[in-house]
Amino acid sequence: MEEGSMVPHAVFIVLAILSSALSDVFTVAAAGHLTGFEDLFQTTTWNVSDTFSIEVTLDHWVSSTWIMLTAWSAGWLFYALTTVIRRNALGPVCCNPEIHPPSFYLIWILINVLRISWLFLWDRQYIIRSLGLKILIPFSTYVMLFVSYRNLHQHQSWFATNSPNEIWFIRFMTQNGLALFATLSSIEALINMGVALKYSAGLQDPLVSTVVLTVLFVGLLVWFTFESFIFEKYTRYTFTVYPVVVLCLGAMFTRSYRVNDIALNTIYCGFLMIAATILNTIRLIAACFYTDKKPTFLSRSPIPLTDSCETVYQVKGKEGAKGKFGIVNNQFSEN
In angstroms, the first-to-last Cα distance of the chain is 29
User: Are 133 and 121 a contacting pair, CB within 8 Å?
Assistant: yes
Q: What is the C-alpha to C-alpha distance for residues 212 and 329, in angstroms, rounded to an integer?
A: 55
Q: How far apart are CA 221 and CA 274, in angstroms?
A: 13
pLDDT value of position 198 = 96
Q: Could you tell me the maximum CA-CA distance found in the chain, to the nearest angstrom?
A: 78
Three-state DSSP state, 335: coil
pTM, two decimals, is 0.86
Q: Is the pLDDT of residue 87 over 60?
A: yes
Summarize pLDDT for 8-44 with one digit per residue, the tens: 999 999 999 999 999 999 999 998 888 777 788 999 9
What does the chain come to in residues?
335
Which residue from 181, 146, 165 is spatially nearest to 70, judged by alpha carbons? 181
Residue range 156-182, pLDDT digits in tens: 999 988 888 899 999 999 999 999 999
Q: What is the pLDDT of residues 251-287, one digit of tens each?
A: 999 998 888 888 999 999 999 999 999 999 999 999 8
Residue 121 and residue 29 in contact, taking contact as beta carbons nearer than 8 Å: no
DSSP 265: H
Read off the DSSP letter of residue 92: E
Residue 201's identity, in one-letter code, is A
pLDDT of residue 292: 62
State pLDDT tens for residues 188-231. 999 999 999 999 999 998 999 999 999 999 999 999 999 999 99
Cα–Cα nearest to 84, from 73, 74, 96, 72: 96
The whole-number pLDDT of residue 4 equals 53
Greater model confidence, 289 or 330: 289
* CA distance linking residue 76 with residue 67, whole number of Å: 15
